[in-house]
Amino acid sequence: MYVKDWMSPRVITVDESDSLSVAINTLKRNKIRHLPVLSDDKLVGIVTDRDIKRASPSKATSLDIWEVHYLMSKIKVKDVMVRKPYTVSDEATIEKAALLMDKHKIGSLPVLDDNDNLVGLLSIHDIFSALINITGANKAGKRIAVEVPDEPGSIQVLCDSMRKHTFKCVSILSTYNNAREGSRLVLLRFNAKDEDLDNILTELKSQYDNVTLTID
């Protein structure tokens, strides 16, 4: 799954020479929190609602409303933006983008093509949408977590055991989180009738020590 499949291709931007007032109005009007900043149609920074709050006068200021508006009209976006922001290629995997956002604790990534043109914006909400889609969490069904040996072919053995019975697989994932050393958890989301589900559970519990069922 690639960034280009999940990003927002309609990117709202500001120019680095725009005033902070323009950036504020753009954010409010479009109900967004991140604005890529351009100069000569090239990405040079990003400004967020948090950056703007830091640059804005405190609520305890003695300035009246007109003075505040005047001050905000004089501050330029380039004075408060984050320069050289982290970016991601439109051909990168969604997993790589998620790792980058998690590592640097950021809420969005400008997306660039091979010519460094801004072609999209990937937000944390887009990552959530991808996660929901990958796991099949938006589809009602059953989820079995099975701890299997961390060795080649272990997932195939599990699937072969389940294939003895009637079910429809929605997604299958694996993780080492919360698994014992030498093992990993396989998370399989599927649909099955009650009688088939009972048979699947009986089959798996006869082979594995750790089998957990969750029904949405």
pTM given for the model: 0.77
Residues 91, 82: Cα–Cα separation, whole Å: 24
What is the CB neighbour count within 10 angstroms for residue 29? 9
Tally of CB atoms within 10 A around 134: 13
Q: Which one is predicted more confidently, 197 or 71?
A: 197
Name the E strands within the chain. 14-15, 34-39, 42-48, 82-83, 88-89, 108-112, 118-123, 142-149, 168-175, 183-191, 211-215
Report residue 58's pLDDT band, with 50, 70 and 90 as the boundaries: very low
Q: What are the structural domains of the chain?
A: 3-133 (3.10.580.10), 136-215 (3.30.70.260)
pLDDT of residue 64: 46
